[in-house]
Amino acid sequence: MSALASETKIQLPNDSSLPGEHFEVRQTATSADMHPNPANSIPLSPARQRLLDDIIALYSCQPTRERVKRYTPDCVYDDQFVYANDRYKMAGQWFALPKLFKESKNEAYEVIRNDPLLIQFKNEQTWTFPGGVKSTTINALVSLSLDPDTADSDFPQVKYHKDQANEKDYSHTGLADRVSGSMDSEDVEFFKGDARDDYHEEVRKYDSGTADARKLQF
């Protein structure tokens, strides 16, 4: 991580009552290099390391209800394919992964930022498709905006999870609205009470990663 990245200030809300949409980190990388170097990883407290371990396990097709509880009910998950703006939709995504992939293996990660309300890490994940005939490795920058009320607790939770697989940061899109409702899963239905409209907000629209002042550069 460059000196510029380490000195850049990221302002996140301190009010946990705000919906997850308010906790997005807008970011524009000056390089597409998302390859992690574990030797440079910033150490985390035991509680935050357990959070990161649970997030990596979710990426690795090992979902459990307790791991999904790492997110607040009004959380947002945001990547190039999925935009899920509550924990019910989030649960549908994580519990669907083992059905969509034969395996997902974490190759390495590097924590590059550990702020009071933000953990960022570079992640390398290899996804193997059904039948094992093809796999793909994806490098990404993952930003976990933490819930202010639990950030320093033994069980920190995530308000906004952004997975950025390239140097761009465009508007949000995705199919998560239809995944949870189409799954026959008791684990997903466990979180159905989180599918509430009262904390949903309009999806923010941006032309590009430079369209908002709150951004992170590398």
- For residue 132, what pLDDT is reported? 78
Percent over 70 (pLDDT), the chain: 78
Residue with the bigger pLDDT between 212 and 2: it is: 212
Cα 143 to Cα 141: distance, rounded to the nearest angstrom: 7
> Which of 34-48, 139-153, 157-171, 203-217 has the weakest average pLDDT?
203-217
How much is the pLDDT for 147? 98
Q: What is the mean pLDDT of residues 19-27?
A: 88
Domain ranges of the chain: 3-7+20-194
| Fold of the domain built from segment(s) 3-7+20-194 | Nuclear Transport Factor 2; Chain: A, (3.10.450)
Is residue 218 scored above 50 in pLDDT? Answer: no
pLDDT number for residue 32: 72
Residue among 140, 167, 158 at smallest CA distance from 36:
140
pLDDT at 196: 74
Report the 3 state secondary structure along the chain. CCHHHHHCCCCCCCCCCCCHHHHCCCCCCCCCCCCCCHHHCCCCCHHHHHHHHHHHHHHCCCCCHHHHCCEEEEEEEECCCCEECCHHHHHHHHHHHHHHCCEEEEEEEEEEEEECCEEEEEEEEEEECHHHCCEEEEEEEEEEEECCCCCCCCCCCEEEEEEECCCCCCCCCCCHHHHHHHCCCHHHHCCHHHCCCCCCCCCCCCCCCCCCCCCCCC
User: Are the CB atoms for 127 and 138 separated by under 8 Å?
Assistant: yes
* pLDDT at residue 14 tops 70: yes
Higher pLDDT, 155 or 218: 155
**Residue 184: which pLDDT band, with cuts at 50, 70 and 90?**
confident
Query: 74-111, pLDDT tens digit by residue?
Result: 999 998 888 888 999 999 999 999 999 999 999 999 99
